[in-house]
Amino acid sequence: MDTLDAQRDVDAARMRDRLKCYVDLETPSGHADALDALLDLIQDRYAGLGAAVERHARDTGAHLVARFPGSDGGHDREPVLCLGHHDTVWPTGTLTGAVPWVEQDGFIRGPGVYDMKGGLVVLETALELLAERGLPHRPITAIVVADEEVGSASARDLVAEHCAGAVAALGFEPPHPDGAVKTARWGSTRVRIDVTGREAHAALAPEDGTSAIEELVDQVLAVRRLAEQHPDVLCNVGTIGGGGRTNVVAGRAWCEIGLRFTDTGTERAVLAALDGLTAHRSGAAVTTEVLTSRPVWPEPGADRALTGVLAEAGEHAGQRATGRPASGAADTNLTGSLGVPSLDGLGPVGRGAHAPDERIVAASLPERAVLTAALLSRL
């Protein structure tokens, strides 16, 4: 197979135009109509590249499954699973406000260019390259989900279903800042703690009340002490609320906590302890609910065959392709936890995920497409 070259084999301007088209359609998580409008374009693109496509409707936006047949005698082989998402963290209006589309000094800036509409363009361009160059490849199943940024609650079963029989899973999230792909991910769990107390007049009869806020404060301190017992656990109380008036003992309070884990054993121990929280005060009740959970994707052991294939693909594309673990979570947490050999971070190089300086290196769009095509043709 001839060596692939980004400048020769890829129309970079076309990739840029496609990305701008996707970014112009703002797609906040949960905005089903906006998400489905972008999915229409992606579906048409995949169908035009020869895929059998199907939509899975959900209240918060549909998911897409596209099945590309294998080539050169590979039709009956196990498929490669490719994962992406089209929702972003940015509210409607960001494009005309805080984060406009800007092309300057070799960068493209805009809401979702890095996380991860650029990755979607990389994937579809790689699929186009496979067809144009007649490169042999296995069947490819691409799944584009609508709620990744809020935990993929409605897509989890769909992704898990397609892990069965997959020879590998590739994610098109952003890479590490130096372009290295991601070979493992920490587990990520969002937990909500709800406290019910008993309301009473804060001055006339405080003894008749039980403060849900004071109980919650003690529960948060207990969670912090629990996290400190496990140095590798990250714990962040992200939101908190409760009460109503300063002259009323608070009857309700709540908080949401983000937790990150490096290993499954610690994850299970911490979540079991949170599930067993009990009230310190008479008249108070505490409940714990897991809102979303992405399991630990552990580092590969002695068998690092997939990273070896990545290195070969990089050499064929004239690139140095390496990988290492990441602390962030994504849908590849699930594929990796289920034992499917996985890589993530095949999207364009850049910075600023979820931040106002979100941007990509424009030249990395065609480079990552060429790397992905080389990788798919070698799996």
Contact 142, 65 (CB under 8 A): yes
User: In the chain, at which residue ranges do the beta strands (DSSP E only) sit?
Assistant: 52-56, 63-68, 80-85, 102-104, 107-109, 140-145, 168-171, 181-185, 187-196, 234-242, 252-261, 285-294, 323-326, 342-343, 350-351, 359-361
Domain 6-185+298-378 is in which class? alpha beta
pLDDT tens string 321-333: 999 999 999 999 9
Burial of 141 from C-beta contacts in 10 A (0-12 / 13-18 / 19+): buried
CATH number for the domain whose boundaries are 187-294:
3.30.70.360
Distance CA 138, CA 145 (A): 22
**Domain range list for the chain:** 6-185+298-378, 187-294
pLDDT digit string (tens) for the chain, length 379 residues:
568 888 899 999 999 999 999 999 999 999 999 999 999 999 999 999 999 999 999 999 999 999 999 997 777 899 999 999 999 999 999 999 999 999 999 999 999 999 999 999 999 999 999 999 999 999 999 999 999 999 999 999 999 999 999 999 999 999 999 999 999 999 999 999 999 999 999 999 999 999 999 999 999 999 999 999 998 899 999 999 999 999 999 999 999 999 999 999 999 999 999 999 999 999 999 999 999 999 999 988 656 799 999 999 999 999 999 999 999 999 999 999 999 999 999 999 999 999 999 999 999 999 999 999 999 999 9
Find the Cα–Cα–Cα–Cα dihedral 213, 214, 216, 222, rounded to 10°. 170
Find the Cα–Cα–Cα–Cα dihedral 145, 19, 365, 183, rounded to 10°. -20
What pLDDT does 356 receive?
96
Distance CA 10, CA 128 (A): 9
What pLDDT does 302 receive?
56
Give me Rg for the CA atoms of the chain.
23
What pLDDT does 94 receive?
98
And the tokens for 68?
């590309």
